[in-house]
Amino acid sequence: MKIGVPKEIKTHEYRVGLTPAGVRELIQHGHQVVMEHDAGAGIGCDDQAYSAAGAMIVPTAAEVFAAAALVVKVKEPQPAEIALLRQGQMLFTYLHLAADDRQTQGLMRSGTTCIAYETVTDRAGTLPLLAPMSEVAGRMAVQVGAHCLEREQGGAGILLGGVPGVPPAKVVVLGGGVSGTNAARMAVGLEASVTIIDRSLPRLKELDLQFGPRATTMFATVEAIEHAVLAADLVIGAVLVPGAAAPKLVSRAMVRRMRPGSVLVDIAIDQGGCFETSRPTTHSDPTYVEDGVVHYCVTNMPGAVARTSTQALTNATLPFVLALAGKGWRQAMLDDPHLAEGLNIHAGHVTHAAVARALGLRHTQVRDVLKAGD
């Protein structure tokens, strides 16, 4: 099968769909890989590195999309890329459709089979293709949050870990999943005062065992969230409902009552954000201040550490790319129901229930699509 990897065009997105090692693996399995010129420049891999791995380098994205039966990307396709998609083609990337009606409509019109990294599952019920980037985003959230707390950035001028005789910053992590756990790990390592809030008691018990007295765990109620957020210097929003829009856990009224110079970092912004005052930002203009509170809501946080992120992502996606290329999407999904959970759109139909519900669209069952054989 011909697999196409275009250069990412979202603002300040430096990742790429495959590493040279991933390309070589696909070539070894008898597939062809078509790469856009300089697609890997952002991770320090030039065209020569991809050519040496066996890829064919072409000058434009249009040539990649025209040649490929399977397009492998990182971020959701931008309007110019959606225009290049065609019926019968496969797209494998992050989509985050529940918060993006425009993209969803465009992909439906394209007739493409769209498989989202973020809704593929595994036997444990976790999200193996979201996990690597959640790990990166969680760890980055503390770095950027600490930077935003600096006075020059609009923050309160607080050092995250404090110093002898001066208390550390209070960090609240909303959500104890992969990104939240990694955020807590970094904050604890910097000696901040850390509170983790989650609605799962079993998960809170696991976190309590993991962090011990270095972090406080709290069960998620409206009162608990309000109490913790109003006392916090840095709040990290790390909640996730697979495929669906993120719940708004922190209201605008609550933000108004936070201390001036406090910081909100919204990891959930790809799914609409979990703070009512959140709106998407970019690496070129990452923050804004609302009601005296600094907001960091970059939609592609891991893109800032593109080399690490691309290596981690390729490690996770490669087995699925091999399955899709080797078997075709239908047989691959019949063989692996966890990959089938990744099917979000096929031939103009929305096939993920959470996406359909969030956007008020008709839902077509994946099993019906797999049976249809069209």
- From the number of C-beta atoms within 10 Å of its C-beta (0-12, 13-18, 19+), residue 292 rates as middle
Known catalytic membership, residue 233: no
The whole-angstrom separation of Cα 73 and Cα 85 is: 13
State the greatest distance between any 2 C-alpha atoms of the chain, in Å, as a whole number: 69
- From the number of C-beta atoms within 10 Å of its C-beta (0-12, 13-18, 19+), residue 362 rates as exposed
> Of the listed 100, 198, 233, 270, which one is catalytic?
270
Known catalytic membership, residue 101: no
Residue among 310, 330, 322 nearest 370 (CA): 330
First to last CA, the chain: 19
> Of the listed 96, 346, 349, 352, which one is catalytic?
96
Instruction: Give the strand order in the sheet containing 113-116.
Output: 56-58, 32-36, 2-5, 70-72, 90-93, 113-116, 343-346, 349-350
Residue among 72, 61, 78 nearest 26 (CA): 72
70: three-class secondary structure by DSSP: strand
Catalytic residues: 96, 270
